[in-house]
Amino acid sequence: MNIKKIALASLIASSLLAAASSFAGERFAEFPVAVKMSAAAKVGSTVYAGLGTAVSAWYALDTSKPGAQWKALTAFPDQQRDNANAVAIGTNVYVFAGQGKVNPADKNLIVFDTVWKYDTVANTWSKVLTRSPMGGLAAGVTTLDGQNILFFGGVNKAIFDGFFSDAFVTATDTKVQDSSITTVVNKGLQDEVTARYFDQRPEDYLFTEQVLSYNPAKNQWRNLGIDPNPVTIGTGVAVSGNKVTLIGGEIKPGLRSPNAKSVTVTGEKLSWAKLSPIVAAPGEAAQEGIAGSYAGYSNGVLLAAGGANFPGAWKQYNAGQLFAHKGLTKTWRSDIYAEVKGKWVVAGKLPAPLGYGSYVQLDDGVLVIGGELQGGAGSKDVFLMKWNGKSVDIVR
């Protein structure tokens, strides 16, 4: 009898040890630097990520090897840029758009419309002889067939560039005295520019309605048609087969969408559908919407998590205030949502409020890479969001 008990205890201990080893083997190494507004893509089992506040740094992580560390690669050769999009086609990673400064000393940001290619085999960067027709900043970007890259939404480059030029160049006074040059911000003029920029209807920002497709092999852009729904930027993007789901995003600066929409792509034909609205966050009366979120699938379930919004913005907007987030506090979110049987449910929490980082789809879940924490700091955290049948587990 005692022998049986000892054998049973030994078996249980062995099982627990094996389970612990299995869990430990799934751990993902921290990113080498705290990072936000980065870009990432996956080729095979290797994830490539960097840019944003990692500046020109570019790294690789082999997710097939438990405990693998991030490996530094050839640095990005062009200007630093935040919020660029990265998509893998074959063994190459293509990087589009992003915002940044032409010269480090510049006061204003611009939208970059250049395209870069990273060759994962040769570990080299090269500039592609094309430009994004609409800029592409904050667009939802993905590929379905491994040949063509799709672009949904995006800011209007002329309006974006113009705002930052007016607010940070035109609203700056330059004074020359005794051979010295000083610059002083004209706060009143800057506030006027800012108020005018935010006090507009969603349609006045001219976010990109056209759905664009880019084929790297042909180096050719095509217009696939118009998104018939309210256009958003900074959406979460998830792919299942030939269907793309776009979750949340900004319908105008400071005002987020609580909705999700999907589009099925057959050749160059687009078939749109609306999903049920995202449920309210715990303890809140209504869903304010999320932008800069993480999205994807785990075990067949659609997930969306994190991002940021301005609680109270919809109340002010519905009361007629176009500057919807005026006086409100930008709030990062930790809520995880899952679409179960056609309805969104609250499925868990991120380790911390987090948004505006990179994410890639793995076989069993969504790999989150860094992001912006409440208050603006970047994060080194790397983890997998994995659906367990009832809620989402965080696997590190």
Does residue 250 carry a catalytic annotation? yes
* Cα–Cα distance, 342 to 221 (Å, whole number): 34
Q: Hey, what amino acid is at 384?
A: L
- From the list 30, 209, 250, 284, the catalytic residue is 250
Q: Hey, what amino acid is at 302?
A: L
Contact (CB, 8 A) for 69 and 29:
yes
The number of beta carbons lying within 10 Å of the beta carbon of residue 154 is 29
The sign of the CA dihedral 305, 159, 244, 40 is negative
The number of beta carbons lying within 10 Å of the beta carbon of residue 248 is 27
* Cα–Cα distance, 170 to 359 (Å, whole number): 37
Q: Which of 254, 218, 262, 366 is nearest to 305 (CA)?
A: 366
> Reduced to 3 states, what is the DSSP secondary structure of residue 12?
helix
Q: Which helix (H) or strand (E) holds 236?
A: strand 236-240
Residue 323's contacts (CB-CB under 8 Å, 6 or more residues apart) are 195, 198, 199, 254, 316
The number of beta carbons lying within 10 Å of the beta carbon of residue 160 is 21
* Cα–Cα distance, 26 to 394 (Å, whole number): 11
Q: Hey, what amino acid is at 76?
A: F
Q: Which helix (H) or strand (E) holds 49?
A: strand 46-50
Question: Which sequence positions are flagged as catalytic?
Answer: 250
